[in-house]
A and B are shown apart, each in its own frame.
Chain A
């Protein structure tokens, strides 16, 4: 059962790209891969003010992930709380996961050739903390939402 998701309050987001860097640095990633992304639509005048839409995208942590069964070495793992992560010890960097993913989420780490993607900072979650992108969001626009059955 999927337990967590990251939600962007677009009213507060100022597209400062802080989350992208907070994530990269926390995961010790070199120049190249990003595990989350802030993107803006082109400016369009609405009600006299040129506005744009901001979207935050990262791994969806699908309930039925296509990347997990396709991994030839069982490195792509879905936890009980729904977090899909890559076991870095097992990963061989074949990137089959990326091909299987409808959104091309996994990226290759040029340092070791292995696949990397958002794991919701599960080490931080397990320690009672929030993911890096949420913890340090400049304007507190990113929120960790805990999903509960109604």
Chain B
């Protein structure tokens, strides 16, 4: 039977809207939702079918029989698997209290359900991957605007100039955003790209700054200096909504373009010319405040500087600028209900909320659990449940993490794929792929807010279950039916939609429900109350940071040089064909990129006697991890840096296509769990130095028999 459903892609966390055709329970066609993306879909989106049909993913619950990480498993039924987990969770609760369990997820629109589960169980310890991703940006936005990083969105299409500091958007592939950017360029807009290396995003740019690694903040300061000097800012907006501008003017005085050029390894005249362009293009200049800025030890301040530049442009709540995403209330409508459970009144084990009071309490900071688990401080942790999250791939130094995990009586991995954490865990629960599962309805805020839902296109190929089923059935075994009361997804959807007056039939036409016919903008003269800072204004000087004894305007400190000869700063990034380690074993995507390489600057390569294609050996600073990959020699990576793509170097034998293929950046980051931003909360993932040398394996070899 032929079928067509609208759904939401699950190959990466962009979650593009899709339409899926199937026949006799086989997916025959996936495309971007024609109503939103006009069919557009990336390679990963189409390769979803290959993931679903891949035999190299868990196909039924698996319980470990050998040592942790040894890869010996026995198949189990779902009943047995749920009993296994529920029994252990009950024992842990009895012996150590419910707070001895951590649940981590990748995050995203459905994390409320996972959080509700662990809260209902009695633990405050919900966390997600964001301390290695967007936390610095999020906290930067909170400190200035009083709203998190999603408190503003960007009308790129109508902008005249988009400025990206290391945001390689054509590799991140948010399809709608990418098309908006290309539309802007087609309309004569400008794109300025800043990075330590050239990327596809930079290729499309009208201006490119190849900066010294760790100097994004310096460049942003130099731009602020010149913008203020030239008077290219919105005086009325600053007067009306912003505090701390005078202090900014004093602080910024020393950060001249000449100083900036020297710090960043760029030309002074280029900075001046760039600011002249801004002068022409303002207020429709968008400084993207970054996404994954868990990078340098001042990335939080770099993100703050980008937010400050937006404020100086006065581009807030306007066409071609930043806007506040609107919700159902702005459309005169009621919102949906979602599964929820209040956080238990117990101290979090990562110290957020009591030791570190200036951070968002929601997901806390995952990396901070590790040392505390080892020290059993403030209390012992005896279980970690990872919901489609791979701490060993996402966070630095997995061998250090294992010391903490070894303190646990229970490690659970719920995932569509094997993960490095899953391979080390005690039990793997196979989640149905996004093509085989329904999910609760979600609200997508925006200029035209909408409701969206993922619908399964086909029945599961394997003995897998949807996440809502897994949590509901586990909750039932633990007596948490009050929070997880629904037996079917249809009942859940009905309950979610009840206050709105909509029904599931309203999703049929386009796959989503639009809550407004036209874009909603607030009156720019009446933005009071939108900035949830202590003063209600946009705070260049943050009261919250003051209270935490942190500076609002931090003087720039030049990044460290390599500690010794032969060492380079390790920079990681993304490519358009992979979602980090999630897809490196996908048959179709591994065909496009089966391994990673090491980018190295031509002059440095010459010193090492390396030409493109030669094998190079990369070692961590303590030589406890090394890998050998091909060198990609280019002028377009800064001489102090080497670059590689994240997601490779995995060691899961059941994943034959990517097994030990390439180098793993996080395994090179020895000790880096302890190197994190006390102001922004992000892990400093680009503060690791590694040894690079020409590999001995380049020799032909003489002996065979």
- Mark A residues whose CB is within 8 Å of B: 11-12, 14-18, 20-22, 24-26, 31, 43, 45, 48-52, 135-140
Distance, CA A147 to CA B588, complexed state (A): 33
Contact with A along B189-229 (1 / 0, CB 8 A): 00000000010101111111000000000000000000000
Q: How far is the CB of A9 from chain B (nearest CB, A)?
A: 9
B43 is an interface residue with CB less than 8 A from chain A? yes
Instruction: Name the contact of B43 in the complex, choosing from A11, A18, A52 (C-beta under 8 A).
Output: A18
B31 is an interface residue with CB less than 8 A from chain A? yes
Q: How far is the CB of B1 from chain A (nearest CB, A)?
A: 19
Q: Show 7 A/B contacts (Cβ-Cβ < 8 Å), sorted by A.
A: A16-B170, A21-B46, A25-B49, A50-B198, A50-B635, A51-B203, A138-B41
- List the B side residues contacting A16 at CB < 8 Å: 42-43, 170, 173, 200, 576-577
- Supposing A11-B185, A11-B186, A135-B31 touch, asked if A17 and B207 sit within 8 A by C-beta, the answer is no
Q: Contact at B208–A12, with CB atoms within 8 Å?
A: no
B527 is an interface residue with CB less than 8 A from chain A? no
Q: Contact at B270–A48, with CB atoms within 8 Å?
A: yes
Distance, CA A140 to CA B49, complexed state (A): 22
Distance, CA A50 to CA B634, complexed state (A): 11
Q: How far is the CB of A18 from chain B (nearest CB, A)?
A: 5
Distance, CA A22 to CA B46, complexed state (A): 6
- List the A side residues contacting B270 at CB < 8 Å: 48
Q: Contact at A18–B42, with CB atoms within 8 Å?
A: yes
Distance, CA A140 to CA B32, complexed state (A): 12
Q: Contact at A49–B182, with CB atoms within 8 Å?
A: no
B580 is an interface residue with CB less than 8 A from chain A? no
- List the A side residues contacting B207 at CB < 8 Å: 48-49
Chain A residue with minimal CB distance to B270?
A48
Task: Name 18 extra pairs, CB < 8 A, besides A20-B592, A25-B50, A140-B38.
Answer: A11-B185, A12-B186, A14-B178, A14-B182, A15-B576, A16-B42, A16-B173, A16-B576, A17-B43, A18-B45, A20-B43, A22-B41, A26-B29, A31-B591, A49-B205, A50-B208, A136-B39, A136-B41
B509-563 at interface with A (beta carbon < 8 Å): none
Q: Contact at A21–B200, with CB atoms within 8 Å?
A: no
- List the B side residues contacting A51 at CB < 8 Å: 203
Chain A residue with minimal CB distance to B612?
A42
- List the B side residues contacting A14 at CB < 8 Å: 170, 178, 182, 200, 204, 576
Q: Contact at A140–B179, with CB atoms within 8 Å?
A: yes
Instruction: Name the contact of A136 in the complex, choosing from B31, B198, B588, B635 (C-beta under 8 A).
Output: B31
Chain A residue with minimal CB distance to B27?
A25
Distance, CA A43 to CA B637, complexed state (A): 11
- Supposing A16-B170, A48-B208 touch, asked if A136 and B32 sit within 8 A by C-beta, the answer is yes
- Mark B residues whose CB is within 8 Å of A: 29, 31-32, 38-43, 45-47, 49-50, 170, 173, 175, 178-179, 182, 185-186, 198, 200, 202-208, 270, 576-577, 587-589, 591-592, 634-636
- List the A side residues contacting B39 at CB < 8 Å: 135-136
Q: How far is the CB of B260 from chain A (nearest CB, A)?
A: 17
Q: How far is the CB of B586 from chain A (nearest CB, A)?
A: 10
Instruction: Name the contact of B588 in the complex, choosing from A24, A50, A135, A138 (C-beta under 8 A).
Output: A24
SS of A interface (majority): loop
Q: Contact at B208–A49, with CB atoms within 8 Å?
A: yes
Q: Contact at A43–B198, with CB atoms within 8 Å?
A: yes
Chain B residue with minimal CB distance to A124?
B29
- Which one of A43, A49, A137 has the greatest number of beta carbons of chain B within 10 Å? A49
Q: Contact at A140–B40, with CB atoms within 8 Å?
A: yes
- Which one of A12, A25, A137 has the greatest number of beta carbons of chain B within 10 Å? A25
Distance, CA A56 to CA B270, complexed state (A): 34
Q: How far is the CB of B308 from chain A (nearest CB, A)?
A: 26
- Supposing A14-B576, A16-B576, A43-B636 touch, asked if A136 and B46 sit within 8 A by C-beta, the answer is yes
Q: Contact at B175–A43, with CB atoms within 8 Å?
A: no
Q: Contact at A18–B46, with CB atoms within 8 Å?
A: yes
Chain A residue with minimal CB distance to B47?
A21
Distance, CA A16 to CA B464, complexed state (A): 31
Distance, CA A6 to CA B243, complexed state (A): 55
Distance, CA A31 to CA B53, complexed state (A): 14
Chain A residue with minimal CB distance to B38?
A140
Q: How far is the CB of A126 from chain B (nearest CB, A)?
A: 16
Q: Contact at A50–B591, with CB atoms within 8 Å?
A: no
Q: Contact at B40–A25, with CB atoms within 8 Å?
A: no
Chain B residue with minimal CB distance to A134?
B39
Distance, CA A87 to CA B40, complexed state (A): 30
Q: Contact at B592–A21, with CB atoms within 8 Å?
A: yes
Distance, CA A84 to CA B224, complexed state (A): 59
Instruction: Name the contact of A138 in the complex, choosing from B40, B204, B636 (C-beta under 8 A).
Output: B40
Q: How far is the CB of B444 from chain A (nearest CB, A)?
A: 20
- Which one of A21, A25, A137, A139 has the greatest number of beta carbons of chain B within 10 Å? A21
- List the A side residues contacting B636 at CB < 8 Å: 43, 50
Q: How far is the CB of B585 from chain A (nearest CB, A)?
A: 12
Instruction: Name the contact of B173 in the complex, choosing from A20, A22, A45, A138 (C-beta under 8 A).
Output: A138
Distance, CA A112 to CA B591, complexed state (A): 20
Q: How far is the CB of B137 from chain A (nearest CB, A)?
A: 23
Distance, CA A137 to CA B46, complexed state (A): 11
Distance, CA A43 to CA B170, complexed state (A): 16
Chain B residue with minimal CB distance to A14?
B170
Q: Contact at A50–B46, with CB atoms within 8 Å?
A: no
- List the A side residues contacting B38 at CB < 8 Å: 140
